[in-house]
Amino acid sequence: MSEPEAQVVCAHESASILESMRNAVEQAGLSAVTTDDGDEVMRLLHGPVPPALLVVDVALPGRAGFEIIDEIRKLNLPTRTILVASVYSQTGYKRRPTSLYGADDYIEQHHIEDGLPAKIEALLPRPAEPGSDRPTRPAASAAKPRPQGVDERLRFDEGESAQDLEFRAQRLAWLIVADVLLYNGDGIAELQRTGVMGARVQRDLDEGRALFALRVPEGARGLRDWIGEALEQFLAGRRRI
């Protein structure tokens, strides 16, 4: 008899990126449960059968990917995890993160459909039928060319209300900072220990501020130091763990 199919949970705020994640899971011969909310992920983790694999956005609303991984470790769950980095500037990062904050792997969102299936296979190997080398779930399907999901969080409309623009500016700031945190784990740890920001962290934050200024309409971006506030919120959360 075949083993039951492993449950994969995909969590991302962007509907189009979430669809790319679902496609990648199906290419690996599995099916996905999808959600755009961190609190829903926490509910699934606390269920009677936790998911075998969680593919989660580092900047997920409700509970960021870093917080969810902390919860998995706290509960000592067998759930494997892949962090999804937005890489707001695809040319700005050409290095592996210095820390995955307890995750098993990571993937940049513009490589989800061409790279995620292999990462799933590595973390959830296909069990063979007793007495056979044949895998118990279908072989991974060949990826069909399709448009890569677009992150709607980078799009702003001048016609949006002031309240909506402010909310979306805050979300984009958290998205940018979460990305910087993933790629600068050692630098963030040093910042938490000494209060001194290293040059690489500062450089990436400056790049993030430049993108923020480019994307967010002037009326919303000048209200507060959105990037600085997002960084402080994350650091405060890490200090409590």
pTM: 0.80
Q: What is the rounded distance in angstroms from the CA atom of residue 68 to the CA atom of residue 31?
A: 21
Q: What is the rounded distance in angstroms from the CA atom of residue 177 to the CA atom of residue 169?
A: 12
Q: Which domains does the chain have, with CATH numbers?
A: 8-123 (3.40.50.2300), 155-239 (no CATH)
State the CB neighbour count (10 A cutoff) for residue 33: 16
Give 155 or 125, the one with higher predicted confidence.
125
Query: What would the mean pLDDT of 32-61 be, rounded to a whole number?
Result: 92
Assign 41 to helix, strand or coil: helix
Name the percent of the chain lying above pLDDT 70: 78
Q: Residue 165 is encoded by which pair of tokens?
A: 């623009």
Q: What is the mean pLDDT of the chain?
A: 81
- List, for residues 207-233, the tens digit of each pLDDT value: 889 888 888 888 787 778 999 999 988
Per-residue CA distances from 60 to 30, 95, 174 (Å): 23, 22, 9
- List, for residues 166-209, the tens digit of each pLDDT value: 888 888 898 889 888 888 888 888 888 888 899 988 998 998 89
CA neighbor of 112 nearest in space, from 140, 142, 141, 148: 148
Query: Is residue 2 very low, low, confident or very high in pLDDT (cuts 50, 70, 90)?
Result: very low
